[in-house]
Amino acid sequence: MKTHQSNSNHAPKSDHLDDSELKMPLYSGPIVAATLSALLGLFTLVVTHHVSRLTKGLDQMIHSYGYWMPGSTGTGPDGSIGNYSGKETLALIVWGVAWLLFHYLWRKQDFSLRALTPLFIGTLIFLMLGLFHPIIDPVVLFIAGLFGYAAS
């Protein structure tokens, strides 16, 4: 029976990698792809929310994207989430497609996170304010008027 004896010339191997063993560079592109795609998903949610309020036809069109979701129609004990299912579905599609596309395009790109962080936070605040009707309704009604829509 053979036993393993440690050789005094070699130090025991550590499970930790040192800096020389890390050969894969780190890029900020995937981080930017994830954050920008989340902003685009939120933007889609804001836009579809306000567009669905303009006419019944637009409301039904947006709702139709969410018919696959349980609770999107009907009057069960928990009620119906209605057209919000379509808004969620469209936002998820935009978020997922944008994330895949941007990640593929920017996986080996390096962006300045110092410059993008304030831009991300500012855009996030702007989009969140876009969900508050007293703030955004005059803007939505103005834009809708340019396209010939009036709120119903």
Calpha distance 14→81 (Å, rounded): 55
Calpha distance 88→10 (Å, rounded): 59
**Residue closest to 51 by CA, chosen among 66, 38, 40, 62:** 62
Per-residue pLDDT of the chain (152 residues; tens, 9 = 90+): 555 555 555 555 556 666 555 667 789 999 999 999 999 999 999 999 998 888 898 899 999 999 988 888 876 666 688 889 999 999 999 999 999 999 999 999 999 999 999 999 999 999 999 888 888 888 888 888 888 876 55
- Predicted local confidence at residue 106, as pLDDT: 94
- Predicted local confidence at residue 134, as pLDDT: 86
**Residue closest to 55 by CA, chosen among 79, 80, 83:** 83
- Predicted local confidence at residue 10, as pLDDT: 54
- Amino acid found at 82: G
Calpha distance 134→129 (Å, rounded): 9
Reading the block at residue 122, the tokens are 């500012």
- Predicted local confidence at residue 54, as pLDDT: 84
The alpha-helical segments, DSSP class H, found in 27-150 are 29-52, 56-64, 84-106, 113-129, 133-146
The conformation of residue 79, written as its DSSP 8-state character, comes to: B
- Predicted local confidence at residue 49, as pLDDT: 92
pTM (2 decimals)? Answer: 0.76
**Residue closest to 87 by CA, chosen among 53, 121, 118:** 53
